[in-house]
Chains A and B, each alone.
Chain A
């Protein structure tokens, strides 16, 4: 009988690692707390930088789950060390005794309502990047029909000591530019602003997308962080920022504001860390044993990571890390257990 490996979190990282482990001859037990597999990828419409449809990435992954035992709507009740194994109890009453556990619990979208000065949850016309993906996915959105001016606010709940998230979430600059272009494509007459502090277009073809946004779509980039948002009686938004390159404060009337909510640690991170006796960083994400050359190993034997559970990453980065984690687990399991 093939050896079991427990994989916690059924997003891109967990699914991809499970497929790889299966291909290496193991039986992955994939545990997902939500009713469906797919993680955040299941919520996105089109992906940066080329606009590939998210379902064309996730679909084939979900078609290829033979040999993987997966449980949705299921959480981890407890994890205990027993000699050189881990005993994992699931909320559905099942349990597994394994030598290796892979943590692929991903991230939580930053709760934008925490930044009260931006008015998410207070003003109807303030939405998040994830809400906009929902709307793109749904196709028609009557809310957009009378929109003249729309703004994208970068770094919402990222790079923000007050919000308790100091890190850069990495994917939101390019997501903002992607969404700005998509919006302009659907509604060419709309004026689109991006309010940024730094534009982090780090990946291949990201800079091209930025160039296209400027040249072909006429997106107006303003270097200044939005400081506050208010609403008038007609429901228009007034957005305050400083145009730091010009050196003057400004107040712009908008019909819609999209907050680029960043990546925060997944809610269960600290519970799982406590159960397995591993550490989380001061940013709240799991800490790998080396951020340079051992991103998938933890400080404890038999506990591994992949994907955004150890910090913001793109999908291709997440998928390669999932493959690397499967290799690391395979190597570990082929080494005889120390007594």
Chain B
């Protein structure tokens, strides 16, 4: 092959059609409400952990739906399970329970930063 002098960089596009996601399917089975999120951000805005950390439950849920959980799951380690998000969710999602289920389905390793795995 001719070397044009370019390296291969990973595509920056979201390959949503390739999402093969048994873990998300499992989470959806246990916690059907995960699909009800309308990304309103109320949970993130009221989050006790969100003021000082990157914690955003809205982003966690979206990344799970897109099969890109590695990018956000480590955030959940900042969650104190205080349940404030549960009080404000307009879709009535039991967010606290959902966070616990995410922990169960994706396992303790899933929540670690890439480097610590």
A201 CB–B CB distance under 8 Å: no
- For this complex, 20 residue pairs linking A to B, each with C-beta atoms less than 8 Å apart, are A159-B38, A159-B90, A161-B92, A162-B89, A197-B40, A197-B90, A198-B38, A224-B42, A225-B45, A226-B42, A227-B88, A241-B41, A241-B45, A242-B58, A243-B41, A244-B39, A249-B44, A249-B47, A249-B56, A250-B45
Is the pair A247, B59 in contact by a Cβ cutoff of 8 Å?
yes
Q: Size band of the A side of the interface?
A: 20 to 34
Select one of B38, B56, B91 contacting A242, CB under 8 A: B56
* A interface majority secondary structure: strand
Shortest beta-carbon distance from B50 to chain A in Å: 5
A228 CB–B CB distance under 8 Å: yes
* B interface majority secondary structure: loop
Going nearest first, the 6 A-B pairs with the smallest beta carbon separation are: A242-B41, A161-B92, A225-B40, A227-B45, A227-B46, A242-B44
A117 CB–B CB distance under 8 Å: yes
A184 CB–B CB distance under 8 Å: no
Known: A227-B46, A228-B46. A244 touches B41 (CB 8 A): yes
Closest to A160 in B: B90
Cβ contacts A195-207/B at 8 Å (1 or 0 each): 0011000000000
* CA gap between A118 and B79 in the complex, in Å: 24
Select one of A159, A161, A223, A224 contacting B45, CB under 8 A: A224
Is the pair B88, A224 in contact by a Cβ cutoff of 8 Å?
no
The interface of chain A, by Cβ under 8 A from chain B, is 117, 155, 159-162, 197-198, 223-228, 240-244, 247, 249-250
Select one of B40, B89, B92 contacting A224, CB under 8 A: B40
Q: Size band of the B side of the interface?
A: 20 to 34
Residue among A160, A227, A244 having the largest count of chain B Cβ atoms under 10 Å: A227
Select one of A117, A197, A250 contacting B88, CB under 8 A: A117
B35 CB–A CB distance under 8 Å: no
Known: A242-B58, A244-B39. A249 touches B45 (CB 8 A): yes
Q: Which residues of A contact B80 (CB under 8 A)?
A: none
Shortest beta-carbon distance from B72 to chain A in Å: 11
Shortest beta-carbon distance from A252 to chain B in Å: 11
Shortest beta-carbon distance from B26 to chain A in Å: 25
Shortest beta-carbon distance from B27 to chain A in Å: 21
Shortest beta-carbon distance from B35 to chain A in Å: 14
Known: A197-B38, A224-B40. A162 touches B92 (CB 8 A): yes
* CA gap between A74 and B88 in the complex, in Å: 40
Q: Which residues of B contact A117 (CB under 8 A)?
A: 87-88
Q: Which residues of B contact A160 (CB under 8 A)?
A: 90
* CA gap between A160 and B59 in the complex, in Å: 20
